[in-house]
Structure 1
Amino acid sequence: MPFISQLPYRALLVVSALTLLVGTLLHLNSQTALAHGLWLAGVIPVLLGLCVDIVKTLLRRQAGVDVLALLSIGLALVLDEILTAAVIALMVASGRALEDYAEAQARREMTALLNRAPRVANRYEDGQLRQISLEQVLPGDRLLVRSGEVVPVDGTLSSLAELDESMLTGESLPARRLSGDTVRSGAINAGAAFDMTASASAANSTFAGIVRLVSSAQATRSPVARLADRYALLFVPLALALAGLAWFATADPIRLLAVLVVATPCPLILAVPVAIVSGMSRCARRGVLVKGGGALERLAQANTLFFDKTGTLTGGNARLVAIQCEPHTRADEVLRLAASLDQASNHVIAAAIVAAARERGLVLSVPAQVVEEPGAGVSGQVDGKSVTVGAFAYVIRTSAPASWSQLFLQRLRYDGACGVFVGVDGVMQGALHLTDEIRLETPRALRLLRRAGIERFVMLTGDRQHIADSIGAVLGVTDVRAEQTPADKLAAIQAARRDGVVIMVGDGVNDAPALAAADIGVSMGARGADASSEAADVVLLVDRLDRLAEALMVARRTRRIAVQSVAVGMGLTLVAMVVAAFGYLPPVAGALLQEVIDLVAILSALRARQAGSMRPSGGLSSEQWTQLQVEHQQLKPVLDSVRSLADRLSSLSGPVAAAELAELNERLLHQLLPHERQDDSELYPRIAVLTGGDDPMAAMNSTHREIFRITGRLAHIAQELPESGPDPAYMQEIQRLLYGLDAILRLHFAQEEELYHAFRESS
């Protein structure tokens, strides 16, 4: 904290406590001179420490509570009330040591700001490759960036490159850059090795500029006064006036000392840090690291929330959300062939496709004759078939475009998603739709934050405008700012601080300047960049945004308890001051009474240890949560088959349509409906107890009833269809039911996963 001097207050606490104790024992044994010497030895270091702190406070033109402690100790020494001075010194040292302890507990060793910054580069020299320090790179140098390495400086590509720029731009999916395109330092090579030509030195490159923004923002952020100091603005003048009045009325300096001793604001010095330490401890138990008491105080006053999109509101990883395929082609088979071939690729999208296939329990084959073109796609043999997987431009080299391909590409552009096309034996059989999904806890987290007092939500992202708008609309965020550079984010934060206390949440290097500039910077530290964690005031060690809502509630209740504790302590102190002013409370008795008042204030402040948890008691065990996830993964192929049949139904012949509808009906009856009925009878009653209220699961039960109604209708249709299949009018009715079932099932699964995630017990 800004007011703390460099003196070791823990050591002063030990010294003052020991000298007071031993001196008291000597005094009881009639060794008064030696006792006074020991008491004085404990007082002087504390007195010097107070002088240093008061000078620093005055230089910042701030008021503090320390002046009363200094006056009372000084006056006690002048009046030869050495024991009184020693008791006051112990109170002061204990309060300041507690504040030091609060800082030490909150400040854990963070990783260095630039751990991920490149330190060397691979430069071509006379036809040879040589590793040099980053400072030696000059504009015009030809460099090699190996797979997985960080781009060392800004430059121009000499070949195709696949880059992970999420830490710089917020774009979650890898970007394909062609020869001649510019590349910025800080991006990670997510594909094969490539050559580049440096266009700037390390000091003038993008990554270094971000570091300078962080440093500038940290340097210009104004210090925040202690909560105790703000109360001192009223209390110190009042205490001095009352003490002066008592002295003026009686001309008795002991009366003046008695008032000042009782007025020594130890409830301010002790109660506030006790409450703050308790609040920070409570946050830490929930996986939220608060780096100091000042950060917790500012968090309690926040009313505006800025947040990054990628890695904060979304998961930051590509996931399969839909499969488009040709008529007479099954979605699972398209995925199986693509995943089988992608086993031979180390591309991040390939890994996501393989993971999706394994989640669905598909049996993958071993590919052969695999040829990969970095950044474009991969081809090879799977089960004797010639398979091509990759970008649209890559697949159409060997496979004719499908009739749905342009519409699919347009859908990808609208969603800001990634598409992987699959060609089999010269025919484009399907395409995989992958996107960065919204985190399960994000909608609930925003609701809780709004309930906790956040009035304004602003999304800052490097994504394109239409992508950002779609995410903002889903989450109910009205202020969406897209295509933001680190400098743009910094400017937005600085402008917003004029209207209130601002929180910024992010996880990338590009967020670090904004985190440093905000009143409270919050980093998704469980997966965030080193720079963002270092610049932040609060780090979410658990990769869940809803923990921020808990921390905000803890901070607000902590501050409320601190204020209440101070009010109780200072109220008792004012009563004691009046009693001392009338001569009924001598200095030593006043010091002892002040210790009792301190104890009351501390016990009140300790209530903050139980502050603000927004979680209900109990929850779903890890085993239950895992089982629910497994069941939903097993049911996703059923959902895909509903959408797939709806899309293809009009192109199928009557007998084929009847056969596929019958097969789908069997899957619904034997896989989907038993799961939903089990949820109704076993899981929902438990969630209802945790949620509270008269009928909290009514909406979910209503959704089940609608699912049962539609599946029952489809079952009747499947049983009554002739072998020739439905007529065109009936076909339209079936298609309407299938699309309706697909929509309600996807919404229902999303609601269930969010609900279960909210009630999952912490590990």
Structure 2
Amino acid sequence: MMTAVTPSREMGCSHVAVWMLWLRGWLALLPMACLCAGLLGRGLGHPEIATWAWTIATLTVTGLLLAQIATRLKKGDVGLDLVALLSMGGALVLSQPLAGAVIALMYAGGQSLEAYASGRAGRAMTALIARQPRTALREDGNALIDVPVAALVPGDRILVRVGDVLPVDGRVTAGRAVLDRSSLTGEALPVTALANEPVLSGTVNVGTPFTLLTERPAAESTYAGIVRLVEAAQARKAPMARLADQYGLAFLVLTLLLAGSAWLATGDPIRALAVLVVATPCPLILAVPVALVSGLSRAAGIGVLIKGGGALETLAKVRVLVIDKTGTLTHGAAQLTSARMLGALDESEVLGFAASLEQASGHPLARTLIEEAARRGLELSQPEEVEEMPGEGLTGLVEGRPVAVGGPHIMRMHGIHFPPPGTAGTSAAVASTVLIAVDGVPAAALEFADPLRADGGTTLLELRACGLERVVLATGDRRPIAEALVAGLPVDAIVADLDPTSKTDTVAAERRSGPVMMVGDGVNDAPALAAADLGVALGARGAAAAAEAADVVLLVDSLAPLPRAIRIAKRARAIALQSVWVGLGLSLTGMLAAALGYLSPLQGALLQEAIDVAVILNAMRALGGPQGGREPEARGVPRPS
């Protein structure tokens, strides 16, 4: 094939936003240069040069800070930056140029360090957005055309080269695809998808080139939805951050009262300036965003997308788990669990007859039978004279032989009598039993169930170890099936036969036991996810409505990352609170010392700079910790066999 490449159109970005981000990151360079120049001038015997250099540094940062405060005041946001403005203005008025320059460097340095910390902390989340592909190689006759991803429609065939990010959801047309999902799910090993198997956008082809048959437009594909969720998460402000703003206002009032009292009591304005300097800026507004964004980034690295700091805080505080059964605790698809043969035909023959007849049915179990036959390599025949009774079963001819598939009622209608099931082979977990008759005589009884996920039991035990005090299974299925599924697992209550409204009521009722986390995957789970204190959706194969309603989305079709995400959230929240209270305690101690005359403005500036650096570095510890958020396993927690 020949490849015709057309230029791709890149998305535009805000030059002003980029410039402001760059300025915030490098703001400390000017006051540092002016401070050094002033010290050099003073050392060479030119104090006037030192005064001018330090004044320029203070005026420059003061001007930028004044513009920033004016912008925030228009939004009704009164922050602690006002203390920094007062301290630098006071230094200029009281002829303290060196103290003013140190304050300017302190403030600018804190801004630069916070920008670096936030940028590093958000790297995993922004990487998800940056990796979004813009173009794809679409087959057009015998040629490959480079087209925008937005131009792809279901049914298009695109070539995925080695190293390419899959732009849309689809299926492998032939051969196999080896895909790296580490950037989305944290899985270290690549996975292999065979012909006609579904693959998700956002994964990377690490094998040989293959052709992808698109099934969804780019805007509706998994990766586009993840990108939208990431952008929404980055825009949200955490309750802890809002609480920091409230405390910050109280701290501002306290600072002004203490500074004014020191001035009135001593008649020395330098005392008031020293108090303002020590309070500039407050660790309260630095530590919280850095620690929370660090936690969000670590969670994204293990395949858990948390929609903002508020959801991260709630995740750290949940005490009750309400979990859906079908598609969440189980895979959501019936599987053949046992076959009881009742005649002379063997299992493969009976399955071939039944699957051939079921090709004419749209029942979910019909697809399961057909897939099981295909997995065993059975060749299916074309059914004839098919008659279907909705909810009962169907009859017809396969290779000229009469075949009936369904329940007891349709068998009795045709005079076919099956022996009663033996108790030894019957389980309460069986979701459905399908009877098969060939040539008018019983041939087999097939049992189907939706089994527990391989990691389901282990995940429930780990969630208990993370501090969850109550686990409730909420399902629309029958109670005996739910009870058999979770037998031996740490489930406190089972609520069965639920519709979406009843499931939402169950979540509301469980709130009396503490903050509730609801985990689900389907459209019917969306109301309950929205009603819970924290909604968690399986986003890899779950419904888009569930992912939109949830506060947390698991990007992998597994519950395993959830306990790790809780540990990450708990650690990030604990570090944020630790940084806030330790930083505030040190600042208040310094302010009292300054009010009593033990610290000069210059000494106060140096002390507060050390506090700010220590607080931010401590908050960045949320980026570290055990790999993947793992912590040593709690002793005494059993593992399911």
Normalised-by-shorter TM-score class: 0.5 to 0.7
1:90 aligns to 2:108 (yes or no): yes
* 1:534 aligned partner: 548
Name the % identity.
41
Note the C-alpha offset of 1:280.
Answer: 1.5
Cα 1:297/1:99, change in 2 over 3 Å: farther
* 2:161 aligned partner: none
* 1:488 aligned partner: 502
* 2:489 aligned partner: 475
Cα 1:577/1:11, change in 2 over 3 Å: farther
1:350 to 355, 366, 385: 366
Note the C-alpha offset of 1:308.
Answer: 1.6
- 1:19-168 matched pairs, under 5 angstroms: 21-22=29-30, 25=33, 28=37, 30=49, 37-52=59-74, 55=76, 66-67=79-80, 69-80=81-92, 83=101, 86-87=104-105, 90=108, 93=111
Aligned residues: 495
Note the C-alpha offset of 1:439.
Answer: 1.4
- Whole-angstrom distance in 2 between the partners of 1:568 and 1:49: 30
- Whole-angstrom distance in 2 between the partners of 1:99 and 1:616: 23
Secondary structure, counterpart of 1:353 in structure 2: helix
Cα 1:311/1:16, change in 2 over 3 Å: closer
Does the CA-based 8 Å contact 1:20-1:39 persist in structure 2?
no
Note the C-alpha offset of 1:509.
Answer: 1.9
Does the CA-based 8 Å contact 2:291-2:620 persist in structure 1?
yes
2:571 to 542, 547, 557: 557
Note the C-alpha offset of 1:528.
Answer: 1.5
- Whole-angstrom distance in 2 between the partners of 1:416 and 1:56: 59
Does the CA-based 8 Å contact 1:314-1:439 persist in structure 2?
yes
- 1:649-688 matched pairs, under 5 angstroms: none
- Whole-angstrom distance in 2 between the partners of 1:579 and 1:243: 11
Higher helix content, 1 or 2: 1
Does the CA-based 8 Å contact 2:355-2:370 persist in structure 1?
yes
Note the C-alpha offset of 1:273.
Answer: 2.1
Q: Deviations over 1:150-173 (max 9, x none)?
A: xxxxxxxxxxxxxxxxxxxxxxxx
What amino acid maps onto 2:326 in structure 1?
T
- Whole-angstrom distance in 1 between the partners of 2:467 and 2:635: 23
1:417 aligns to 2:431 (yes or no): yes
Does the CA-based 8 Å contact 1:399-1:428 persist in structure 2?
no
* 1:295 aligned partner: 311
Q: Deviations over 1:70-125 (max 9, x none)?
A: 2342343255266466446536755886898678976988xxxxxxxxxxxxxxxx
* 2:404 aligned partner: 388
Cα 1:224/1:418, change in 2 over 3 Å: same
Note the C-alpha offset of 1:555.
Answer: 0.9
* 1:369 aligned partner: 384
What amino acid maps onto 1:542 in structure 2?
V
Note the C-alpha offset of 1:545.
Answer: 1.4
Q: Deviations over 1:672-697 (max 9, x none)?
A: xxxxxxxxxxxxxxxxxx99999x9x
What amino acid maps onto 2:554 in structure 1?
L
Note the C-alpha offset of 1:382.
Answer: 4.6
* 1:518 aligned partner: 532
* 2:562 aligned partner: 548
What amino acid maps onto 1:446 in structure 2?
L
1:337 aligns to 2:353 (yes or no): yes
Cα 1:50/1:441, change in 2 over 3 Å: same
- 1:299-314 matched pairs, under 5 angstroms: 299-314=315-330
- Whole-angstrom distance in 1 between the partners of 2:113 and 2:246: 17
* Range with bigger deviation, 338-347 or 455-464: 338-347
What amino acid maps onto 1:594 in structure 2?
Q
Secondary structure, counterpart of 2:451 in structure 1: strand
* 2:274 aligned partner: 258
* 2:442 aligned partner: 428
Does the CA-based 8 Å contact 2:521-2:539 persist in structure 1?
yes
Does the CA-based 8 Å contact 1:106-1:292 persist in structure 2?
no
* 1:135 aligned partner: none
Note the C-alpha offset of 1:582.
Answer: 4.5
Secondary structure, counterpart of 1:312 in structure 2: helix
Secondary structure, counterpart of 1:247 in structure 2: helix
Does the CA-based 8 Å contact 1:84-1:587 persist in structure 2?
no
- Whole-angstrom distance in 2 between the partners of 1:322 and 1:389: 16
Does the CA-based 8 Å contact 1:13-1:94 persist in structure 2?
no
Cα 1:11/1:255, change in 2 over 3 Å: farther
* 1:644 aligned partner: none
Secondary structure, counterpart of 1:311 in structure 2: helix
Q: Deviations over 1:406-435 (max 9, x none)?
A: x79x969x6461222211111121121112
**Aligned Cα RMSD in Å?**
4.2
- Whole-angstrom distance in 1 between the partners of 2:545 and 2:316: 25
Does the CA-based 8 Å contact 2:356-2:383 persist in structure 1?
no
What amino acid maps onto 1:386 in structure 2?
P
Q: Which runs of 5+ in 2 are unaligned?
A: 1-15, 39-48, 130-235
- Whole-angstrom distance in 1 between the partners of 2:556 and 2:388: 38
2:337 to 321, 324, 328: 321
Cα 1:546/1:11, change in 2 over 3 Å: same
Secondary structure, counterpart of 2:434 in structure 1: strand
What amino acid maps onto 1:348 in structure 2?
P
Does the CA-based 8 Å contact 1:16-1:42 persist in structure 2?
no
Does the CA-based 8 Å contact 1:302-1:501 persist in structure 2?
yes
Note the C-alpha offset of 1:503.
Answer: 1.0
Cα 1:484/1:382, change in 2 over 3 Å: closer
- Whole-angstrom distance in 2 between the partners of 1:498 and 1:52: 41
Secondary structure, counterpart of 2:318 in structure 1: coil
What amino acid maps onto 2:302 in structure 1?
R
What amino acid maps onto 1:371 in structure 2?
V
What amino acid maps onto 1:455 in structure 2?
E
- 1:616-631 matched pairs, under 5 angstroms: none
Cα 1:530/1:95, change in 2 over 3 Å: farther
Note the C-alpha offset of 1:399.
Answer: 5.6
Q: Deviations over 1:480-512 (max 9, x none)?
A: 222333333333434444552221111122222
What amino acid maps onto 1:299 in structure 2?
L
What amino acid maps onto 1:548 in structure 2?
L
- Whole-angstrom distance in 2 between the partners of 1:36 and 1:594: 17
* 1:224 aligned partner: 239
Cα 1:52/1:295, change in 2 over 3 Å: farther
- 1:436-515 matched pairs, under 5 angstroms: 436-497=450-511, 499-515=513-529
Cα 1:522/1:431, change in 2 over 3 Å: same
Q: Normalising to structure 2: TM-score of the pair? A: 0.66
